[in-house]
Amino acid sequence: MTTVTAVRGDITEERVDAIVNAANNGMRGGGGVDGAIHRAGGPAVLEDCIARFPDGLATGDAGWTTAGDLPARWVIHTVGPNFAAGERDRSLLESCYRRVLEVADELGARSVAFPLISAGVYGWPRADAIEAAVATIAATRTRVEEVRLVAFDDAVHRQMQAVVLRLFRPPTGAGTVGSLFDRDVAQWGLRGDPYVWRALRARFADTPLPTDWFSLRSLLTRAVEEVIGTPLTSAADAVYLPEFDPGHGMSAGAVSPAWWAQTGIPILLDRQAALADPPSPPEPPTGPEPPDA
């Protein structure tokens, strides 16, 4: 099973089997991620590009070279569509992710780090670029065990993480705070609240349950306030968080502090209480003793 995580960092420093380069058709280096990978990898990357891709590479396709001085074994190059130049066929963007994973399987790579393809100077709208990346990886059969989606800044990282957590639920251990979030609630407050729920589930996946109700309430309250950036006692009806807005209309990205204070956290506290005090087994039926055989 493939695990997918959103990572905040510099893709040229990722220690994985293969780093993905958002290349151009010419395959001779360029700006942005392309230029950074060529600089960090050294001349060996360009030399291999010239040897392997004398005629360049088609949009939506992928191919590999040595990683040179990078802390990876291979660079898998892929050419995303240039939205700003009129290349707006989403299937080409999806093809980039599929082809990279196919090349990774051919190489035997088990860990791959992707940048967000086409969302830089090529101008693909960021929210849709993230959706295309995560959904395509989720739908592609591959032997790659670990995929990292690497964001260079905090805003992109938060937005990536929200989509990743929607489609890839990290495992939670028994007796952890994260396990309290395994079952979604019947009714949310606003449309951003499910994203907060999933973010907290991931945060607490390995955190042991506190032994008392007060400690758990304090832990959950602090965590929710950290994620939404406001106290749960706030008078605000809603807090807008752009990373939880998939662009689907009314209340997208809106989180309700009141729902968390009055509904979300009490549900989680009830679940802890049920774990601490499971229902007793039913009493055996009463009545006359059966006659001896």
Q: Give the Cβ contact number of residue 9 at 10 Å.
A: 13
Q: Give the model confidence (pLDDT) of 143-154 as tens digits.
A: 999 999 999 899
Task: Specify whether 34 is catalytic.
Answer: yes
Which of 10, 17, 34, 55 is labelled catalytic? Answer: 34
Tell me if 181 sits within 8 A of 197, measured CB to CB: yes
pLDDT digits (tens, 9 = 90+) for 103-145: 999 999 999 999 999 999 999 999 999 999 999 999 999 999 9
Residue (of 262, 265, 186) closest to 227 by Cα position: 265
The answer, yes or no, to whether residue 251 has pLDDT greater than 80, is: no
Q: Helix crossing, 154-167 with 193-203: angle to 10°? A: 90
Q: Which domains does the chain have, with CATH numbers?
A: 3-167 (3.40.220.10), 178-276 (no CATH)
pLDDT for 248 beyond 90: no
Condensed to tens digits (0 to 9), the pLDDT of residues 6-21 reads: 999 999 999 999 999 9
Tell me if 252 sits within 8 A of 246, measured CB to CB: yes
Q: How far apart are CA 217 and CA 31, in angstroms?
A: 49
Amino acid 255 reads V
Q: Binning pLDDT at 50, 70 and 90, where does residue 284 land?
A: low
Given this model, what pLDDT does residue 252 score?
A: 83
CA distance 263 to 266: 5
pLDDT in tens, 198-234: 999 999 999 999 989 999 999 999 999 999 999 999 8
Query: Which sign, positive or negative, has the C-alpha torsion 244, 145, 90, 27?
Result: positive
Please report which confidence band the pLDDT of residue 246 belongs to, taking 50, 70 and 90 as the band edges: confident
Confidence at residue 293, expressed as pLDDT on a 0 to 100 scale? 43
The pLDDT confidence band at residue 280, using thresholds 50, 70 and 90, is low
Look up residue 292 and give its DSSP letter: P
Percentage of the chain modeled with pLDDT above 70 = 93
- What is this structure's pTM? 0.81
Q: What is the pLDDT of residues 30-63, one digit of tens each?
A: 999 999 999 999 999 999 999 999 999 999 999 9
- DSSP for 102-125? HHHHHHT--EEEE--TTSSTT---
Q: Find how far residue 178's CA is from the centre of its chain.
A: 16
Residue from 179, 168, 166 nearest 207 by CA: 179
Query: Using one digit for the tens of pLDDT, what is the confidence trace for 163-185?
Result: 999 888 888 999 999 999 999 99
